[in-house]
């Protein structure tokens, strides 16, 4: 099944699921955000990162420990 970028499907359904109300202007803002963010989010989700173990509690003040 192809992923959908359609904000018209996703946003009203998500808002209803969370019980969050939105007016027309807010919906327009969310549609804009969705068009910007959703395609790269889908690309990120499609990446095979199974070989990458995220650093547990990374110390961001320092370089990562050597692999």
Partner 1 sequence: MSEPLDLPLREQAAAIAAGQLDAGELLDATLARIESRNPAINAVVETFPERSREMLAAAPDGPLHGVPVVIKDEWPLPWRAQRFGAADMLATPEPGESGPYRALRDAGAVIVGVGNMHELGASSTGNISVYGPARNPWNPERCPGGSSSGPAAAVAARLVAGAVGADGIGSIRYPATYCGLTGLKPTFGRSAMAGHHMAGVSTTIVSGPLCADAGDCRLLGSVLFGEKLQAGKVQGLRIGVIENEVSEDVAPPVREACEQAIEDLRAATDGDVRTIELPELPAATLATVLIANSESLGSVTPERLNNLDPELSPLGRGLLKYRLMLPAAATVKSQQMRTMARQRLAEVFEEVDVIAWPTVPAVAPPLEAPLVELPSGTHTADTANVRGGALANLTGIPAISVPVGSAEGLPIGLQLQAAWGRDELLLDAAEALEGANDRRWVEATPPLAAAEQTEA
Does position 21 bind partner 1 by CB under 8 A?
Answer: yes
- Let me know: does 4 contact 10? Beta carbons within 8 Å: yes
**Smallest distance, partner 1 to C-beta of residue 39, A:** 10
Give how many residues touch partner 1 by CB under 8 A: 41
Q: How far is the CB of 8 from partner 1 (least distance, A)?
A: 14
Q: At how many degrees (to 10) do helices 7-18 and 24-46 cross?
A: 100
Residues 6+ apart with CB under 8 A from 39: 5
Residue 1 or 47 with smaller CB distance to partner 1: 47
């Amino acid at each position: 099944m192809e992923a959908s970028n359609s904000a018209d499907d996703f946003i009203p359904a998500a808002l209803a699921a969370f019980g969050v109300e939105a007016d027309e202007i807010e919906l327009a803002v969310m549609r804009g955000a969705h068009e910007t963010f959703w395609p790269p989010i889908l690309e990120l989700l499609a990446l095979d990162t199974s070989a990458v173990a995220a650093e547990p509690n990374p110390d961001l003040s320092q370089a990562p420990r050597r692999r």
